[in-house]
């Protein structure tokens, strides 16, 4: 008997039996979610010893000349056509010419290949389009985003039959069809697989002939673009009581294309998500008959809907919402820095107050970090990955960080951003934050269950292999596989325990790091935390087994650590890619210090709450031997980051690159003009200050400044007054509905009437 078989029979076998009881078992939907997509940089982080050369070798995300031309051409032109105030409060929809422009220029077909008449854009180009549009109009951005993310287009591309692709993709590309995707129903939100929407296989009449098909009944809600959609990508549970397709009674979740013109389909009513007016609404279907060839992928794909969905989400989740969030963060940093520079209180620009700088510093660094992570994620997707864990991290972290930055921006602008009206350039972002938090997997569940719960299984080098082996119906084969994976796992755990201990006790100075100059030390620290993370994960799995799934507070903290490791990797990569800009080092250092403090705080909380106390003590001794050493960015560093937003410079432009700037006399344009004039007039103001003169006229008379300089100061003051102005309205414009005199106000208040049918002007089909 060989040593391997002795080991397998004497040691692995009892462990195999024990593990079958303690390791988490997977439901079918969990397994399908875990099998969707692939692993990428997350697997390196889980290994405890990330290969930095691999990260630095990922080619940067770039645009082709054609993609760049689209951004400079149609995207710019579209931005100029958009007036978010008019869209939101007067029209309650995009104007017809904008709908037409979107369709004509194929904004709904960015992911559809050119062979089908689409634009065939890369993930990065798609992200850049959404990013720029988001800084102009969230209504337009969400409208363009939806047909390019999870929905009929994406599903047809990956799973459609040739005939379906040939018919539907050109129509979608030309804008002849407006798609939506219906998954969520009143009873099934986060637990979407529990839907009661049903399809029954039966015979029915289709275009005058009797065919095999499906009779559908559904009630979906919250569906974006549904009120104006011509085709719904519908998720439902398929049943075959008469066994027309085979032996199975319950076939499972299935996806089909349902034209909204069919008898029994009800669309048109609208929700008002956070008072935003992108098209969103419920739909019901009563005994709607479709032929079987409307199932996406045909009969071969019946019952495989969940897997298809998870696979489409694996990449898509990393593009749309992270792009919108990165845009919102850059926009908030840009405007808030400018506002803090022009707005004075107590005769000082508010940006000079430390408490304001605390917020500005955080905003600047967050803008740097989110865009770094967006670019890295797009680069990964463009190189063929579908990194489900990374994209879940991006979705959750980007939207959460946008929430923090939106709060900061509102607090710094104070009344200026609270008062709604055409001059308010921040209100829409602030109101929209909970939408991003909620959709594509609400953040609480994403943080605890997807990032870490599924992440631990799929990104871990051995766990999925072990779990698969444990569930193998062929016991002998299962045991052999388990034996291999288990001993590999054991070696991995010991190596990580040693690594984590050595790196923690030596402050990470001996951890491997690439020669990247000033950021080298940060790589070492990240390597130290990655080893600690991998070890703590193994200990949690060993001591908690399947119970870890229910310990959502613990897994949420593990999710936070993994997220920080990913985001900080992206920051280091961005710094390197952008030519190691010395001027950006404060931003890099701020992100690192903040992230390290979060990582240590989460380890601390994990150890404090770890059910097995001896293991917790051991881990603490190993990983945090000197307690919490990282306290976050210093005040000096925060001040340096804040300064970046307060003064025009190339590094400020790098942070806010490609946002759409204000035009005409709108609020954003007023702010940008005031910022420019205020900065230009600063030397004159300094001269006045040194001469103890507060009044421009007096200073001119005393010869401190000449006529032209006085004029420059007056122009700057006028620009500031215009920028800090807010809107007010005639009382009748916001009067109660009964007293409303103006048609605009009538439309506005009509919407609040319970069960009001939408007026044609706010829900017209196109």
As separate numbers, helices (DSSP H) first and strands (DSSP E) second, the chain gives 34, 9
Phi-psi region of 222 (alpha: psi -120 to 50; beta: other; left: phi over 0): left
Output the smallest distance, CB 556 to ligand FAD, in A: 9
Output the smallest distance, CB 318 to ligand FAD, in A: 16
Task: Tell me which residue has its CB nearest to ligand FAD.
Answer: 189
* Contact predicate 533/565, CB 8 Å: yes
Output the smallest distance, CB 518 to ligand FAD, in A: 40
Burial 187-214 (b: 16+ CB within 10 A, else e): ebbeebbebebebbbeebebeeeeeebb
Angle at 361 between CA 356 and CA 366, to 5 degrees: 130
Angle at 598 between CA 593 and CA 604, to 5 degrees: 125
- Segment contacting ligand FAD by CB under 6 A, of 60-68, 167-175, 179-187, 238-246: 179-187
Residue 249 CA, chain-centre distance (Å), reads: 38
In the complex with ligand FAD, which residue's Cβ is closer, 277 or 681? 277
Output the smallest distance, CB 536 to ligand FAD, in A: 21
**Radius of gyration over alpha carbons of the chain, in Å?**
29
Among 60, 95, 189, 514, binds ligand FAD (CB under 6 A): 189
- Segment contacting ligand FAD by CB under 6 A, of 118-126, 177-185, 289-297, 562-570: 177-185
In the complex with ligand FAD, which residue's Cβ is closer, 223 or 342? 223
Name which of residues 194 to 223 contact ligand FAD (CB under 6 A): 222-223
Output the smallest distance, CB 234 to ligand FAD, in A: 10
Among 24, 252, 268, 273, binds ligand FAD (CB under 6 A): 273
- Alpha helices, H only, 354-462: 354-382, 388-413, 415-418, 427-438, 443-445, 455-459
Is residue 296 a contact residue for ligand FAD (CB under 6 A)? no
Is residue 365 a contact residue for ligand FAD (CB under 6 A)? no
In the complex with ligand FAD, which residue's Cβ is closer, 213 or 758? 758
β pairing state of 348-349 and 265-266: unpaired
In the complex with ligand FAD, which residue's Cβ is closer, 142 or 705? 142
Query: Distance between CA 433 and CA 276 in Å, rounded?
Result: 11
Is residue 224 a contact residue for ligand FAD (CB under 6 A)? yes
CA dihedral 312, 318, 324, 325 (to 10 degrees): 140
In the complex with ligand FAD, which residue's Cβ is closer, 321 or 417? 321
Choose, from 440, 466, 481, 593, the residue flagged as catalytic. 440
Residue span 419-458 as binding mask against ligand FAD, x where in contact by CB under 6 A, dash where not = ----------------x--xx--x-xx--xx---------
Query: Which residues does residue 348 pair with via DSSP β-bridges, in sequence order?
Result: 345
Query: Distance between CA 197 and CA 183 in Å, rounded?
Result: 9
In the complex with ligand FAD, which residue's Cβ is closer, 197 or 643? 197
CA atoms within 13 A on the CB side of 22: 13
* Contact predicate 511/532, CB 8 Å: no
Among 182, 281, 508, 586, binds ligand FAD (CB under 6 A): 182
- Mark whether 742 is an active-site residue: no
Is residue 555 a contact residue for ligand FAD (CB under 6 A)? no
Which three-class secondary structure state does DSSP give residue 249? coil
Residue 374: which of 302, 432, 313, 325 has the closest Cα?
A: 325
Q: How many residues of this chain bind ligand FAD (CB under 6 A)?
A: 21
In the complex with ligand FAD, which residue's Cβ is closer, 277 or 439? 439
Residue 529: which of 45, 41, 43 has the closest Cα?
A: 45
In the complex with ligand FAD, which residue's Cβ is closer, 138 or 173? 138
In the complex with ligand FAD, which residue's Cβ is closer, 13 or 221? 221
CA atoms within 13 A on the CB side of 183: 21
Distances, alpha carbon 663 to alpha carbons 81, 92, 324, in Å: 11, 22, 21
- Alpha helices, H only, 439-474: 443-445, 455-459, 463-470
Output the smallest distance, CB 294 to ligand FAD, in A: 18
In the complex with ligand FAD, which residue's Cβ is closer, 323 or 448? 448
Among 62, 161, 165, 190, binds ligand FAD (CB under 6 A): 190
Residue 216: which of 202, 230, 228 has the closest Cα?
A: 202
- Segment contacting ligand FAD by CB under 6 A, of 175-183, 462-470, 629-637, 640-648: 175-183
Phi-psi region of 264 (alpha: psi -120 to 50; beta: other; left: phi over 0): left
In the complex with ligand FAD, which residue's Cβ is closer, 439 or 504? 439
Q: Is residue 203 within a helix (H) or strand (E), and if so which, with residue range?
A: strand 198-206
Query: Distance between CA 84 and CA 293 in Å, rounded?
Result: 41
Output the smallest distance, CB 229 to ligand FAD, in A: 10
Among 112, 140, 156, 183, binds ligand FAD (CB under 6 A): 183
Tell me, what DSSP letter sits at residue 501?
A: H
Output the smallest distance, CB 216 to ligand FAD, in A: 15
Output the smallest distance, CB 443 to ligand FAD, in A: 6
* Contact predicate 434/274, CB 8 Å: yes
Is residue 184 a contact residue for ligand FAD (CB under 6 A)? yes
- Segment contacting ligand FAD by CB under 6 A, of 97-105, 174-182, 667-675, 685-693: 174-182
Output the smallest distance, CB 178 to ligand FAD, in A: 12
β pairing state of 209-224 and 198-206: antiparallel
Residues that bind ligand FAD (CB under 6 A): 180-184, 189-190, 222-224, 273, 280, 435, 438-439, 442, 444-445, 448-449, 552
Active site residues: 440
């Amino acid at each position: 008997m060989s040593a391997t078989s002795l080991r397998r029979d004497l040691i692995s076998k009892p462990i195999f039996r024990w593990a079958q009881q303690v390791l988490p078992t997977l439901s079918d939907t969990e397994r399908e979610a875990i099998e969707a997509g692939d692993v990428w940089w997350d697997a390196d982080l889980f290994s405890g010893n990330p290969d930095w050369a691999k990260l630095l070798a990922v080619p940067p995300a770039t645009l082709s000349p054609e993609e760049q031309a689209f951004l400079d051409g149609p995207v710019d032109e579209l931005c100029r056509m958009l007036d978010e105030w008019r869209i939101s409060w007067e029209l309650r929809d995009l104007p017809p010419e904008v709908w037409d422009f979107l369709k004509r220029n194929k904004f709904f077909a960015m992911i559809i290949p050119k062979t089908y008449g689409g634009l065939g854009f890369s993930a990065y180009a798609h992200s850049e389009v959404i990013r720029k549009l988001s800084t102009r109009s969230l209504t337009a951005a969400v409208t363009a985003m939806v047909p390019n993310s999870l929905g009929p287009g994406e599903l047809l591309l990956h799973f459609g039959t040739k005939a379906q692709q040939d018919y539907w993709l050109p129509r979608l590309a030309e804008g002849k069809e407006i798609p939506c995707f219906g998954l969520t129903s009143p009873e099934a939100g986060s637990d979407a697989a529990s839907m009661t929407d049903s399809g029954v296989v039966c015979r029915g009449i289709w275009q005058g002939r009797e065919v095999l098909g499906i009779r559908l009944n559904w009630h979906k809600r919250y569906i974006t673009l549904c009120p104006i959609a011509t085709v719904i990508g519908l998720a439902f549970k398929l049943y075959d009581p008469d066994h027309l397709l085979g032996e199975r009674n319950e076939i499972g979740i299935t996806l089909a294309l349902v034209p909204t013109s069919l008898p029994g389909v009800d669309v048109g009513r609208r929700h008002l998500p956070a008072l935003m007016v992108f098209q969103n609404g419920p739909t019901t279907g009563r005994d709607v008959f479709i032929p079987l060839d409307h199932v996406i992928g045909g009969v071969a794909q019946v019952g495989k809907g969940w897997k298809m969905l998870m696979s489409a989400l694996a990449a898509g989740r990393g593009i749309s919402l992270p792009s919108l969030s990165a845009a919102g963060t850059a926009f908030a940093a840009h405007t808030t820095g400018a506002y803090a520079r022009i707005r004075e209180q107590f005769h000082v620009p508010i940006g000079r107050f430390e408490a304001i700088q605390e917020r500005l510093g955080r905003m600047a660094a967050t803008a740097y970090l989110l865009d770094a992570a967006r670019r890295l994620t797009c680069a990964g997707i463009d190189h063929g990955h579908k990194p489900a864990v990374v994209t879940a991290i991006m979705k959750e972290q980007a939207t959460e960080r946008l929430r923090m930055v939106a709060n900061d921006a509102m607090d710094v602008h104070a009344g200026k951003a609270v008062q709604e009206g055409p001059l308010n350039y921040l209100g829409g972002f602030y109101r929209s934050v909970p939408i991003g938090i909620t959709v594509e997997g609400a953040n609480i569940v994403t943080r605890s269950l997807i990032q870490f719960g599924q992440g631990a299984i799929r990104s871990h080098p051995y766990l999925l292999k072990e779990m698969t082996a444990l569930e193998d119906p062929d016991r002998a084969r299962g045991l052999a596989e388990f034996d291999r994976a288990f001993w590999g796992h054991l070696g991995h755990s010991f190596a990580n325990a040693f690594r984590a201990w050595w790196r923690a006790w030596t402050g990470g100075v001996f951890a491997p790091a690439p020669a990247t100059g000033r950021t080298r030390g940060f790589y070492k620290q990240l390597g130290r935390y990655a080893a600690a993370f991998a070890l703590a994960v193994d200990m949690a799995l060993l001591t908690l087994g399947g119970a870890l799934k229910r310990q959502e507070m613990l897994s949420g903290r593990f999710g936070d650590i993994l997220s920080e490791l990913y985001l900080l990797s992206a920051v280091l990569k961005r710094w390197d890619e952008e030519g190691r800009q010395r001027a950006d080092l404060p931003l890099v250092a701020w992100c690192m210090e903040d992230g390290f403090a979060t990582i240590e705080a989460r380890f601390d909380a994990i150890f404090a709450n770890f059910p097995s106390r001896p293991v917790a003590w051991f881990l603490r001794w190993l990983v945090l031997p000197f307690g919490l050493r990282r306290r976050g960015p210093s005040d000096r560093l925060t001040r340096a980051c804040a300064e970046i937003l307060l003064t025009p410079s190339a590094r400020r432009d790098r942070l806010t690159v490609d946002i759409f700037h204000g035009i005409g006399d709108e609020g954003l344009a007023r702010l940008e003009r005031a910022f420019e004039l205020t900065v230009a007039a600063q030397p004159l103001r300094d001269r006045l200050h040194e001469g103890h003169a507060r009044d421009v006229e007096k200073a001119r008379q005393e010869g401190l400044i000449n006529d032209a300089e006085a004029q420059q100061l007056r122009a700057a003051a006028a620009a500031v007054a215009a920028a800090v102005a807010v809107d007010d309205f005639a009382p009748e414009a916001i009067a109660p509905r009964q007293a409303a005199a103006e048609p605009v106000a009538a439309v506005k208040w009509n919407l609040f009437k319970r069960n009001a049918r939408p007026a044609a002007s706010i829900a017209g089909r196109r």
